Structure 1
Amino acid sequence: MEQPRFFIPALEGVRALAALGVLTAHVAFQTGAGWQWLWGRLDLWVAVFFALSGFLLWRRQALAARQDVGGVRPSVGRYYRARFVRIMPAYWLVVVTVLLLFPGGQRLSWEGVLSNLTLTQVYVPLSLTDGLTQMWSLSVEGAFYLLVPLAAWVLWGLRGKRARWRIPTIGVVCALFLGWAWVSLGQVWEPLGDLNGQMQFPAFIPWFGVGMLLAEVWADCFLGLREHRGVKALVQVGWLNPVVVAVLFLVAAQPFMGPAAFVEPSPRAFALRMVMGVEIAFFCVAPLVVGPVGARHRILCSGVLQALGRWSYGIFLWHLVVLWAAFQILGVPLFSGHTLGVWVVTVVVTVPLSAASYALVEEPLRRRLRAWEARRVVAASGGEAAAAPEAIVAAPSVTVEAALESAPGATVAAPAEA
């Protein structure tokens, strides 16, 4: 049986579409575009970003659990260093820009400034400000990044032959957290009463969880342990998957799903959105990671979408700053229409700015980190240039980690928001 690959280029294309979808949702909202019932639902692309994070960051844990030899686990320190370098430097550049140049940023309290610098803004009331409001979702992702090693430790007992229980365990946890919308934070602990529970990490566990579940399925398929024919059957017909995603977006835009345009929904409507996000994320990601291996995905793997996928984190970071500037450039006020013009200006300026962020900040720092990690490995091995092949075979979990790190973009989980 042909096995799936470590690096999956089509995921970069999905990341690009998700970034443009979120950008479009914000442009439509701030220009007061018609059809808000539809544009507002483009915020569900956030579910795809969260699922991508779940898949890309969890699959090394899934593989290690199935290849357990002597209890060797992926390095926690290496993981945290990679996450920090991937996320924080480029993020700080945008935050400092907004705090210095935007009137709203200059009016923030010291608690608000500190929360934005530390990615804790969802835990500090009134800390979101113009140009940075999208960062709530990066704050949510930050919690996921921090907790991945803890989740891996909790599930480490389910390894080897017991790894088959990992999928139902993760599934049950995700199902339980679909009820988070009915939890009143103020009743749990009074100081939390001012926080929006629908912007906290537990609310989005099902979206991260669908990616983690796909990582577990992928690991089984990669190692030839189980074929998961039922999952594969759902995404077997390639051309049908984008149709299903489009239909799901249309269903999500119906009135029974609650208000659109970033209005806080009822607990029932929020839970429905979580379910719809799980379904959209599944049909966006599953065909690419456990679908037919020979599928070519020409559009997703095109040069344009591959480039936009690499730059998608910068698109996420900068697009609201550029959107604010677009109104100044065109001389039009908020909610006055001109949606197409504002969208074009926002995209035309955001894309090269994001490319510069990738080329000048993100990628150079990641290369330096990889070089530093390589020097640490050499130093730890007593100065030898490379381990013997026999040693690599004896420690498959180390091999997994090295392979994932060496694959271009394999562990990049560019966040987005709603």
Structure 2
Amino acid sequence: MTRRTRFPALDGLRVIAALAVVVSQVGLHSQAPLAGVVSRLDIGWAIFCAISGFLLYRPHVLAWFSGTLPPLTLPYLRGRALRILPVLLLAVVLSMLLVPEPATVYLRWALCTPLVFFVLIPGLGRLLTGYERPTRRSVRWRLFVLLALTVLGPVWMAVVTATGHPEAALWLPGYLGWFAVGMGMALWQVARATGRLGASTLDILTSVPATLWGIAAALLLISATPLAGPYDNSMPTPAQALLKNLMYTAIVACALFPVLSPSARTIRVLGSRQARLAARLSYGVVAYQFVVLGLITGPFAVQLPVTLVATAALAAASYYLVERPIMRRGKKSATTTTPSIVTSPSSSPAR
């Protein structure tokens, strides 16, 4: 159970996150009605961060629990680069040629947050899984550390807002709590499956996904009020910045947790073949939306379907003509140039 590498329901959640991001950006671009609800659909960014935290930290947890070597850093970084950089560079180049300002904003956020986290995760993984055996006490201590990190984001946002440093709101500390949510769930899932943690209320919550998703929806509606700040790019107050980030952290936790142990019905919906295909294109959809939005005008009801269709077409062309060939060529190159390393049980580091 702990060795499974796919969580099919995450595909559907990733698609929902991509759609939410696009709707929020179209709403911002077109000054949509129901601005509060539409603008808060930027929660999709937080969902992406949490999913990344879960998937990238979990291999380190598995290695820690099994007493084997953690993922190698260079192959990991190579894989991340092959998956991310082609789309990022294409989107930025197209945007710089057609719509410079969105390209600048997207590039700054991408370089300050996701890419920095991807580079840091090997070190974070070792820091949060090494030095002692994975006992119940050590697992709980690391869960506490990750929980503490979820407070960092809201505090960071409040401080940079209060001190008048809006550029710092793009930096990783403001979003680290969202990644920490996924990392904490990865640790909990593996620890629970291996018996390092006993049964708790959390096990009950995994069996009632509708309840958690209902709580997430209620929190999203509350965040759609002025309590969480303005609906455009205007500066919030420190209290608004703190509350918005904190509520997004709670929403992401409620949205992500049920898909870790999904019911058969949840898998049928969120893990379907269609969802899996759409999930492959979700990164491209999010990246290329800035190109499309810079080229169209009109009301929200017109811009939304045009943006969805155009970005889906661009993302599909990008995936099948650029991304997949590059990833396949990169994997083939890594296989042919990297010698196989066979390790005996005695060669594993002591835990």
Partner of 1:255: 226
CA distance in 2, matches of 1:211, 1:352: 30
Matched, 1:153 2:126: yes
Letter in structure 1 aligned against 2:301: L
Counterpart secondary structure, 1:221 = helix
Q: Deviations over 1:213-267 (max 9, x none)?
A: 0110122134343245232223321333332222121111122222222322222
Partner of 2:102: 130
CA distance in 1, matches of 2:34, 2:162: 36
**Correspondence list, 1:6-85, <5 A:** 6-69=5-68, 72-85=69-82
Say if 1:308 and 1:253 are closer, same or farther in 2 by CA, change over 3 A: same
CA shift for structure 1 position 199: 1.6
**Correspondence list, 1:17-416, <5 A:** 17-69=16-68, 72-102=69-99, 105=100, 129-139=101-111, 140-155=113-128, 156-161=130-135, 162-184=138-160, 196-289=167-260, 291-292=261-262, 294=264, 296-327=266-297, 332=298, 338-377=299-338, 379-381=339-341
CA contact 1:181–1:268 (8 Å) conserved in 2: no
CA distance in 1, matches of 2:323, 2:209: 33
CA shift for structure 1 position 14: 0.8
CA distance in 1, matches of 2:233, 2:256: 25
CA distance in 2, matches of 1:6, 1:228: 23
CA distance in 2, matches of 1:30, 1:205: 27
CA shift for structure 1 position 131: 4.4
Question: What fraction of aligned residue pairs are identical, expressed as a percent?
Answer: 29
List gaps (5 residues or longer) in structure 2.
Answer: none
Aligned residues, how many? 345
Letter in structure 2 aligned against 1:45: G
CA contact 1:67–1:160 (8 Å) conserved in 2: no
CA shift for structure 1 position 81: 0.8
CA distance in 1, matches of 2:153, 2:165: 21
Counterpart secondary structure, 1:133 = helix
Say if 1:227 and 1:5 are closer, same or farther in 2 by CA, change over 3 A: farther
CA shift for structure 1 position 16: 0.8
Q: Pairwise CA RMSD of aligned residues?
A: 2.6
CA distance in 2, matches of 1:307, 1:245: 26
Q: Which has the higher contact order (CA 8 A, sep 6+)?
A: 1
CA distance in 1, matches of 2:127, 2:3: 27
List gaps (5 residues or longer) in structure 1.
Answer: 106-128, 188-192, 333-337, 382-386, 398-418
CA shift for structure 1 position 363: 1.6
CA contact 1:66–1:163 (8 Å) conserved in 2: no
Say if 1:361 and 1:295 are closer, same or farther in 2 by CA, change over 3 A: same
Bigger Rg over Cα: 1
CA shift for structure 1 position 182: 3.8
CA distance in 1, matches of 2:348, 2:336: 21
Say if 1:157 and 1:325 are closer, same or farther in 2 by CA, change over 3 A: same
CA distance in 2, matches of 1:256, 1:24: 21
- Determine which structure has the larger helix proportion and give its number: 2
Counterpart secondary structure, 2:67 = coil
CA contact 1:217–1:228 (8 Å) conserved in 2: no
Say if 1:292 and 1:344 are closer, same or farther in 2 by CA, change over 3 A: closer
Q: Deviations over 1:322-374 (max 9, x none)?
A: 122232xxxx4xxxxx2111111111111011011111121222222222232
CA shift for structure 1 position 151: 1.4
